[in-house]
Structures are given as structure tokens and as C-alpha cells.
Structure 1
Amino acid sequence: MDLATLVDREEIYIGFDAANQWLYTDWKGEYTKERSRATCLLMLETIRAHPCAKILNDNTNVTRTNVELTQWTLWWLEEMRQAGLQCIAWVYTRAFDAREATEATVVRIERPRVATFDDLASAYMWLQQQIVQTT
């Protein structure tokens, strides 16, 4: 991926992939609920500044997390949708223990489309195939 760097911090890298017209996020390190929410808000700020319909959300570099999908997460996804997000491919970290609960929540989310993956290549291919609405 040839990326234009938008954010480069210890906890996350956010780049714009011009060839695919999407944001790529690379989450790094350990995540608590507070750190996760702060990083999500940074993603929201970034998508508002650089509107984009797709995100390749890579969590493979997360070393530990105790974060679960909550009502706050659903609020955040709605804010992201209002900022233009239509599809998000979420690549799980190996350190994620709340997979079953997350999958039960993800299947109920209609907009934006959320799909989860175990590897970056599958997420990349799925996201490339998603058709977005243009206004």
C-alpha cells in the first residue's frame, strides 16, 4: 500500500490509500477502554477532515486489549457514518478475547457495513469489492 500519512502516533497510524480511496488505520500496542475511545475519536476527527467512504481497520499490531463493543461504540459508528463512512473492514488482533460478543453485535449493524477478518489480505479484498454510494 502506498499511503499518505495523516496521523502517526504511538497508538495509531492513519494513512490515505489514494489507489483504493480509503483510510488505512494501524492500531498499535495495548488498549484500555479509555485509550480505545480516545483513538476512535481521533479516527472520527480524521475522517471529518479527510472524508472517506471506506476504512481498512488493522488491529494486528494490538498486543493486548480488554475492549468490547458497547453502546458508545455504536454511537461512534453512527458518527463515522454521518462523516461519510460506508464500509469498515476490521481485522482482529490475536489478543482479542471478546470475539463472540463482538460478532453478535456486528451482525446487527446495518450502516456502516462492518465486516470482521482474521487477516489483512482477506479484509483488503473484501473492502476492494464494496460498492459505495456517491452523492
Structure 2
Amino acid sequence: MMKQILSQAKPVVFDWHFPNVPVHRAQDSDPDGETTPQADVMVEEPEVAKPPMYAVVMYNDNYTPMEFVVYILQSEFRHSIDSAVEVMLTIHNNSKGIAGIYPKDIAETKAKKVNSLAHREGYPLLTQIEPHQGE
């Protein structure tokens, strides 16, 4: 008896927009009253592109103390002490260095915050963002 009931049950179909809500499939009616099941269509998941990434670049100057740059790298960019010192030395030796790589809105926010902190402390530290070509 149970097998007969299960074989007569209609399959439950889910809409990909709402995966947990069953869709009651409509069937086309012929003029004579018979119903024709609709064909199933495979829908491919939409491709989501990764956002373009931007490097937060800090520039060297002759007035901002190295300790302040290390502090900024640790507090704002979550570098370890060793990593922060390495980036600070890169900035010092190469005139600029990458503090971090983020999507554009996050990179802009971090650059503005660092510039504001430096200005508030009386340092001319300049931080800008540049498009970053990923690996």
C-alpha cells in the first residue's frame, strides 16, 4: 500500500531563487481538458566575479617616525610585529610599500583613516590606493 502511494506522489520541485520553498508546478491545459506536464529547464548558477583589488600604499617621508609606521601597520592592517617591521623597512628603503590589499571601498577607508591618524599626530605620512593586479 505504501509503495503505491509513493509511486503516485508528485515530486516536490524547488525554485533556485528560494531553495527551501517548494514550487507547485503549473501544467498547461489542452482545450479538451487534458493536462500536459511542462518540461524541466536546467538553470545554471550565475557567475559572480571577484571584486577588483586595490593595494593600500604607504609612502616614505623624512619626518614620520618608524615606530609610528609600525604601530599603524599593526593596528590598522593587523600585521604581526615582524611583518610590520618588514613592511616599514620596505617603505623606508624603497620610498613606498604595500600595507595591505583589499576591495576598493575597504582600501579607501583604510587609507583615509591612516591619513587622518597621521595628521592628528602631526606627521605627514601619505597613504593612497592603487589598483592591484592579482596573482
Q: Does the TM-score normalized on the shorter chain lie above 0.5? A: no
Which has more strand, going by share of residues?
1
Query: Whose relative contact order is higher, 1 or 2, with alpha carbons under 8 Å and at least 6 apart?
Result: 2
Q: Which has the larger radius of gyration?
A: 2
Q: Aligning the two structures, in what range does the TM-score lie when normalised by the shorter sequence?
A: under 0.3
